[in-house]
């Protein structure tokens, strides 16, 4: 096996830095999504409490409660899909340098 020259090492280092930046950006986006979700959930809780405290009858309470449950489940599904997508992006970006190293090792082994 041959040793990489200085230019190859510099390119690899630059590539690793770019992937590190990409992983950091993806992680920051995920953290921001969690912060936004917490803020949204707090606002939704406040709104739900206000809606439930404004009802005038047991029938209206049940109606509002069922609407809030339905909206909550729909929001939870959408939010979890978004978080899953962002989490996948974080891991993909974080492991990109490893994937490239494996590919390079495989190419070297085949030649």
What is the model's pLDDT at position 23?
82
Helical segments of the chain, H only: 6-53, 58-110
What is the rounded CA–CA span in Å between residue 24 and residue 105? Answer: 25
**Helix orientation angle between 6-53 and 58-110, rounded to the nearest 10 degrees:** 170
**Confidence (pLDDT) at 12:** 44
Task: Please report, in tens digits, the pLDDT of each residue of the chain (111 residues total).
Answer: 444 443 444 444 445 555 567 888 989 999 999 999 999 999 999 999 999 999 999 999 999 999 999 999 999 999 999 999 999 999 999 898 888 899 988 888 887
Domain residue spans of the chain: 21-110
pTM of the model: 0.67
Both structure tokens of 6: 């200085």
Q: What is the structure's pLDDT at 36?
A: 96
- Residue 82's nearest CA partner among 34, 22, 25, 35 is 34
**Using CA atoms, how far apart are residues 26 and 88, in angstroms rounded to an integer?**
9
């Amino acid at each position: 096996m041959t040793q990489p020259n200085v230019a190859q090492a510099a390119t690899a280092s630059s590539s690793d830095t770019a992937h590190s930046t990409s992983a950091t950006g993806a992680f920051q986006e995920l953290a921001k999504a969690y912060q936004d979700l917490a803020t949204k959930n707090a606002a939704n809780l406040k709104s739900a409490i206000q809606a439930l405290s404004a009802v005038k009858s047991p029938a209206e309470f049940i109606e509002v409660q069922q609407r809030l449950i339905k909206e909550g489940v729909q929001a939870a599904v959408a939010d979890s899909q978004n978080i899953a997508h962002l989490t996948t992006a974080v891991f993909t970006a974080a492991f990109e340098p490893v994937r490239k190293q494996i590919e390079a090792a495989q190419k070297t082994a085949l030649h």
